[in-house]
Structure 1
Amino acid sequence: MARAHLPAWLALGARVTVLSASGRAAELARPYRDRGVTVARDLGELLGGCDVVDICTPTPSHRELALAAIAAGRPVVCEKPLALTTEDAALVARTAEAAGVPLFPAHVVRYFPAYAAAARAVAAGRIGTPSALRFTRAGAYPVWAPWFADPALSGGILVDQMIHDMDFARLLAGEVVRVHARVRVGRFTDGDGPDRPGHPTASGTALLTHASGAVSRLLGVWGRPGLPFRTTFRVSGPDGVLEHDSTAGAAGAANTVGRPGGARAGRTGSAPGGVTAAGAAGAPAGDRDVEAPAGGSDVEAPGGALPESPYLTQLREFAAAVAGGPPPGVSAWDGVAAVRIATAAAESARTGKPVELSGPLG
């Protein structure tokens, strides 16, 4: 993730220093030496010389790094998930809140154009109140970092990958009160024999029931090597349906279609973010020092030309908030809520039973 965040910070004019417990900081900084990227010797040096902390490390380190940055009074960007447990995520959020330190969970999917356009359409009431939502997210198993294969470190596919769509489902349809999930793990082999153990694979399904009565169905896949990355969604309401497929071209269009039964006359149009509309209610109508600990995983993005990197979009929003602008669209407690849904899904998959969510986050 640091490889996605670092160029975004540079595009914003930041001076960046990196630190990695795995010793990869120099490797990360090397391509950007002419841009002034430097390497810190330890966390103390790094915290003492930065204005903002961007945590892009493996998930098990998020809590302690975030708490250290907050204790130093440094605004924090933290890659999702905010922590491995709801309790730890809430602790980080409460500590930041008590200290008056901005904390931004980096849920970048909210900033991909088709997703952002869908959120605007729902907020504007263009399809009515969402009642049925479907999300899929599939790509190759993340074998570049061994910790992904250990659910105790990554949380597994539900917590690491599917948390993206759990967060987005909550954004569109409101609080989640019940989660039922399943996970399957296996291996993909392209031949036989003990010398060909194959590649790890995993898939997850989750059924989310929202307080509104809406239901979200999610599918996540970590598949064979070379599996093309693809995301889809379909969000249905009484006045229309929002659809997206990242393989459809134009960076993945979100389409609005009329209510079932053709109750409304159709029309077509276009709007920013690669959004097209057909029927229904139409489509929606866009210099600080930074610390970026290295490590973690790269997150694949769907193909197609985007107006700008969603990582740049989200970090610009956070930087503006730190500089006194409006608060970012993702709050610390949004990050906690996403962790609670994802860990409830993991618990459901472990026990085979649905998990009820109630009570305050913190």
Structure 2
Amino acid sequence: MSRLRVGLIGAGGISRVHADAWRALGADGHVTSLKGAGEIAAEYGFAEVADVDELIGRVDLVDIVTPSSTHADLALRAIAAGKHVVCEKPLAATAEEAREIAAAAEAAGVRLFPAHVVRYFAEYQRIKQAIADGRIGDVAVQRFSRAGSAPQTPWFFRESTGGGVIRDLMIHDIDQAIWFAGPVASVYALQNPPTVDDVVPAPVTSHVVLTHRNGVISHLHASWVAPGMPFRTSVEVSGSAGRLRHDSAEDRVSRTDAVLAAGSTDYLPPMSPQESPYYAEIADFVAALAEGRETRISPADGIEAVAVAEAAYASIAAGAPIALTPQEAAR
């Protein structure tokens, strides 16, 4: 079997964890970017390619790790050439664009993978499985928090070009909230300080409340904080029979608080494995291609996360909750 030919578009910070995965999988790597492609090529043994169209023509699969505002155009160009696509989150800057990408991939008979990596973190997988197993009964409330140093690249701070703390940072937990509790019926959001003239301030904090169609309430917090502050995430899911939680500051341990069996003293799942979740998500996609199966996250999941993020911005602008129909959320 010939080696998979992969084209990486972009050479920013996230590109290296994708390149690590492709190298570990033995792919024949190619890279193009407005800047930094040479460094990636030298570091990972990839071929540097002059432009996007030449790269698309050389490869079987395109991996898009560029600013969010460029995702739709690059994905559609690759799909039009009959290439499979991996696209970093968010799938697009708007839900309309995300739906267009998914429809184009389906029509072309190629695979589209929105790279929502948190689904591949062992701690979150264990929580998902515990919910499915009924470990905490009926889920009632979910709480997610995600905070870290504000990025330094200017496009992150322009909501009109795909930036913003909700679309870039909180979208991870939007996807997790939906994965755990299902589709969203309404979205209410706040941000402090507010965005002014399309410029997102930093530090900045946003709080979003999701009401899921099954009645579950999700509270999501995201902050871009001062430079040098450590990155921290946490999740807590409460149900009728117990609680599941994980805090990255607590030695990366997932803990379940639940009614104990007779004679039990505690319940503590094992520590997380050392495998990179970025490797795991890309390996899953490659295996799905070879085996003709689905991946853990679908194009519809990518669309729904963008639709909820878009509704959050609409809620901030309106100062009121925004209802989502099943059609709008692509469910």
TM-score, L = length of structure 1:
0.82
Cα distance in structure 2, aligned partners of 1:235 and 1:241:
6
> CA deviation digits over 1:12-68, x for unaligned, max 9?
111110011x22211222222xxx311111222211111111100100110011111
Q: Report the alpha carbon displacement of residue 124 of structure 1 after superposing the two structures with TM.
A: 1.9
**Structure 2 letter corresponding to 1:147:** W
Structure 2 stretches of 5 or more lacking a match? 1-13, 196-200
Q: 1:202 aligns to what?
A: 204
What amino acid sits opposite 2:305 in the alignment? A
Does 1:268 find its partner at 2:280? no
How far off its partner does 1:325 sit?
A: 4.4
Equivalent positions of 1:81-160 (< 5 A) are 81-143=90-152, 145-160=153-168
Q: 1:183 aligns with which of 191, 195, 219?
A: 191
Residue in structure 1 matched with residue 290 of structure 2 by the alignment? 323
**Counterpart secondary structure, 2:30:** strand
Structure 1 counterpart of 2:50, one-letter code: R
Aligned to 1:165: 173
Q: 2:70 and 2:135 mapped to 1: Cα distance?
A: 41
Q: Distance in 2 between matches of 1:182 and 1:73?
A: 41
CA contact (8 A) 1:258 1:264 kept: no
Closer/same/farther in 2, CA of residues 309 and 133 from structure 1, 3 Å limit:
same
Distance 1:255 1:270, change over 3 A: closer
- Residue 28 of structure 1 corresponds to 40
Find the counterpart in structure 2 of residue 211 from structure 1: 213
Check if 1:49 corresponds to 2:49.
no
Structure 2 CA distance for aligned equivalents of residues 266 and 238 of structure 1: 20
Describe the superposition over 1:112-137 as per-residue Cα deviations: whole angstroms up to 9, x where unpaired.
Answer: 11111111111222212311000000
Cα 1:37–1:50 shift into 2, 3 Å: same
Instruction: Find the counterpart in structure 1 of residue 280 from structure 2.
Output: 313
Aligned residues: 311
Q: Which residue of 1 aligns with 2:31?
A: 18
Cα distance in 2 for residues equivalent to 1:98 and 1:125:
38
Letter matched to residue 257 of structure 1: D
Partner Cα distance (1:167, 1:216) in 2:
11
User: Higher RCO, 1 or 2 (CA under 8 Å, sep at least 6)?
Assistant: 1
Equivalent residues in 2 for 1:214-225 (5 A)?
A: 214-225=216-227
Q: CA deviation at 1:273?
A: 4.9
Identity of aligned residues (%): 44
Matches of 2:25 and 2:299, distance apart in 1: 22
Q: Structure 2 length normalisation: TM-score?
A: 0.89
**How does 1:215-294 map onto structure 2 within 5 Å?**
215-249=217-251, 252-258=252-258, 266-274=264-272
Amino acid at match of 1:53: V
Q: Given residue 4 of structure 1, which amino acid in structure 2 is its aligned partner? A: V
8 Å Cα contact 1:258-1:266 kept in structure 2: no
Residue 146 of structure 1 deviates from its aligned partner by 1.2
Give the whole-Å Cα distance in 1 for the aligned partners of 2:186 and 2:295: 28
Task: Give the distance between the partners of 1:240 and 1:333, measured in 2 at CA.
Answer: 31
Is 1:63–2:61 an aligned residue pair? no
1:118-166, Cα deviation, whole Å (9 max, x unpaired): 11111222212311000000100011x1111111123310111101001
**1:2 alignment counterpart:** 15
Q: Which moved more, 1:315-324 or 1:124-133?
A: 124-133
